[in-house]
Amino acid sequence: MNRAAILGTGSCLPRRVLANTDLEKMVDTSDEWITVRTGIRERRIAGAGEETSRLAAEASRRALAMAGVSAEEVDLIIVGTMTSEKAMPSCACLVQKELGAVNAFALDVNAACSGFLYSLDVADKYILANPAMKVLVIGAENLSARINWQDRSTCVLFGDGAGACLLTGASDGRGLLGSRLMADGRLWHLLHMDAAPSLNPDLIPEDYAGPYIRMAGQEVFKYAVRAMQDGVAQVLAKVGADPAEVALVIPHQANIRIINSLGDRLDIPAEKIYINVHKYGNTSAASMPIALDEANREGRLAPGDLVLFCAFGGGFTWGAAVLRW
């Protein structure tokens, strides 16, 4: 049976590091508050030449190099993002141009922090239909451009970056065993980001307060833990696996307390959960592919390992996936 297997991974982070101690000089916060409540110690901030599509393209180059596949061989580019530098064209089209992937078609998926998971699932469907396809799946964000830097409740949480992986069909047991995606748009107001205001004054809401990320942190926290636990239980049941069989969990990196709560509820030991939120903060759709690439390059993944992904984000969107490495 053919499955969508990962041939190579890559990631790219902006050069500029913004530490908690830097934030202490910008808003009324402290390194201790941020570290204890979130686990975040520093994050990366994109500058000139580090637009979302550029970070995405560099992460993709690294994934292609690892896979030994040329840009011309790529058939499809999918970018999970909500912060591309342009509303049109898609980030995926800009990546296609940057890479010279002239034979690929290209599309973006906006599922907020679940964007990589949703993109992986779309790629899986194309590959199941045509196993020869080579698909680049990318998560890339420039969240620092959409943060109210006077709002201490959000500005300490987010960072920029991109991660990518190249997938194609494999019939040797490797690949995506299953995924379970969910959404509840009724709860959109708990975590959202307005677009740029309409040019039609009739359509500008009276309470428009700028195109910033806004979040009801405590409520998001509670939903995130429960929803990811549910997503993981459903996907493990779907593929017939037990939590004890999972070799490595790669969760969305939003908050160390969410990740630890999830680990406790699933009874998965800390050493089986990959964590890099201390270095990059919450990079939304980019967080899981960056973590996957780092885990891969650190040798944390062995052939045959069962890898579990789970994410939660604005929408609400959430879900989980299981992959045989």
User: According to the binding rule CB under 6 A, does residue 8 interact with ligand ACO?
Assistant: no
Select which of 113, 155, 165, 310 is catalytic.
113
User: According to the binding rule CB under 6 A, does residue 259 interact with ligand ACO?
Assistant: no
Among 221, 280, 309, 325, indicate the residue that binds ligand ACO (CB under 6 A). Answer: 221
Starting from the edge strand earliest in sequence, which strands make up the sheet with 175-183, in order?
175-183, 317-324, 306-313, 248-251
Site track for ligand ACO across 92-131, x = CB under 6 A: --------------------xx------------------
User: According to the binding rule CB under 6 A, does residue 284 interact with ligand ACO?
Assistant: yes
Distance CA 85, CA 143 (A): 11
Segment near ligand ACO (CB under 6 A); pick from 2-10, 55-63, 201-209, 252-260:
252-260
Buried b (16+ CB within 10 A) or exposed e, 183-202: beeebeebbebbeeeeeeee
CB 62 within 8 A of CB 12: yes
For residue 146, the number of C-alpha atoms closer than 13 Å in the C-beta half-sphere is: 25
User: According to the binding rule CB under 6 A, does residue 217 interact with ligand ACO?
Assistant: yes
Count residues near ligand ACO (CB under 6 A).
24
* CA nearest to 273, candidates 231, 297, 309: 309
* CA nearest to 73, candidates 3, 8, 163, 161: 8
Among 25, 199, 206, 218, indicate the residue that binds ligand ACO (CB under 6 A). Answer: 218
> Is 113 an annotated catalytic residue?
yes
Shortest Cβ 81–ligand ACO spacing (Å): 13
Segment near ligand ACO (CB under 6 A); pick from 134-142, 196-204, 265-273, 309-317:
309-317
User: According to the binding rule CB under 6 A, does residue 159 interact with ligand ACO?
Assistant: no
> Is 282 an annotated catalytic residue?
yes
User: According to the binding rule CB under 6 A, does residue 313 interact with ligand ACO?
Assistant: yes
> Is 278 an annotated catalytic residue?
no
Pairing of strands 160-170, 135-142: antiparallel
Site track for ligand ACO across 24-63, x = CB under 6 A: -----x---xx--xx-------------------------
* CA nearest to 262, candidates 305, 303, 192, 318: 318
CB 310 within 8 A of CB 121: no
Distance CA 253, CA 206 (A): 34
Q: Between residues 67 and 220, which has the closer beta carbon with respect to ligand ACO?
A: 220
Catalytic annotation, residues: 113, 252, 282
